Amino acid sequence: TASPDLQTVVAEIADEMARRPDRGEVATYIPELARVDPARFGIAVVAADGTVAMGGDADVAFSIQSVSKVFTLTLALGKIGDRLWRRVGREPSGSPFNSIVQLEREQGVPRNPFINAGAIAVTDAILSGHQPREALGEILRFMRYLADDEQIVIDEAVAASEKGAGFRNVALANYMKSFGVIENPVDYVLGVYFHHCAIAMSCRQLAMAGRFLTHAGRNPSTGHLVVTAERARRINAVMLTCGHYDGSGEFAYRVGLPGKSGVGGGILAVAPGRASIAVWSPGLDASGNSHLGRIALETLAKRMGWSIFGA
């Protein structure tokens, strides 16, 4: 049988998700996220041949939050290579995204680059040798280059609110600093961290930015390698095992694709060799991952036969 038409499947999913009553709970720790309409749903799929299939609010920008951690990990690996793994592990945490408990046992070295502590350590690595403004500029330029879109910006109101509400992130950073895991002043590191979490992007822009992970490290717009094929494969592995915090096992079980979630309700997922996918639904599940975003990806992977574990 012929493989199902991607645009048809994407349109069906957008339609099905729009009608579901179960939408999860939007994040409430900052007002900018608390006031996002839980009825929003977007999906964008950039296929290997460059075709883009979109549904729902695929062109509406949202706060990418922890999805940014995929891109900061990529930049930090580019800057200091595998030495990064001395400061941050690559094992699933089995703990919530903002957990502090493992840091004491593990001498301030976070379990993986996608929990908050790990992402703060990664941001510290990017910051070393730069002023915060330069480091942030580098992250934003990288996003624009990958997405092939100069319109991507940081939502300054979100960044300011994150700073005002980020007591636990301040604690994590200070705690790591006490072990010598953080090199730079804590307020500089957190300034850059809060701002990269506050980048606003649409599903279309995010799916475009994720293309290098489906194309063995290559940016298909330029043909240039963003990272080596080996590194792209390894970033995908960390996304699969750690990209959804203590919901990572469930995401792998149900969706079967590397994915990274954010508390704004976005998820970037990678079907290696096939597609880069972004979904957005602001309502979250108990682990802080998009509820309908996960269901949409589960449906897409199933209908297209895209699970990395077999059709």
253 catalytic, yes or no?
Answer: no
For the question of residue 69 being annotated catalytic, the response is yes
* Minimum distance from residue 162 beta carbon to ligand GLN (Å): 5
Rounded Cα distance between 301 and 271, Å, is: 8
Choose among 286, 283, 287: nearest CA to 296: 283
Q: Are 240 and 265 in contact (CB under 8 A)?
A: no
Q: Does 228 bind ligand GLN (CB under 6 A)?
A: no
Active site residue 263: yes
Site map 153..182 versus ligand GLN, x via CB under 6 A: ---------x------x-------------
Q: Are 228 and 217 in contact, with CB atoms under 8 Å apart?
A: yes
Q: Based on the shown chain and the rule CB under 6 A, indicate whether residue 123 belongs to the binding site for ligand GLN.
A: no
Regarding 112 and contact with ligand GLN (CB under 6 A), the answer is no
Q: What is the dihedral of CA 99, 100, 104, 108, to 10 degrees?
A: 100
Report the candidate in 101, 126, 6 with the shortest Cα–Cα distance to residue 55: 6
Check if 193 is active-site: yes
User: Residues 109, 263, 270, 279: which is the catalytic one?
Assistant: 263
Q: Which of 244, 245, 239, 246 has its CA nearest to residue 294?
A: 244
Catalytic residue among 67, 69, 99, 189: 69
Torsion of CA 263, 265, 269, 274, to 10 degrees: -160
State which residue, 97 or 142, has the beta carbon closest to ligand GLN: 97
Task: Check the annotation: does 175 bind a ligand.
Answer: no
- The 8-class DSSP code of residue 152 comes to -
Does 93 engage in binding with ligand GLN (CB under 6 A)?
no
CB distance 85 to 125 below 8 Å: no
Minimum CB distance to ligand GLN smaller for 263 or for 301: 263
> Considering only residues 238, 263, 268, 292, which one is a binding residue for ligand GLN as defined by CB under 6 A?
263
Catalytic residue selected from 66, 68, 202, 248: 66
The catalytic residues are 66, 69, 193, 245, 263
**Site residues for ligand GLN per CB under 6 A:** 65-66, 97-98, 116, 162, 169, 197, 262-263, 288
> Residues within the annotated binding site?
66, 116, 162, 169, 193, 245, 263
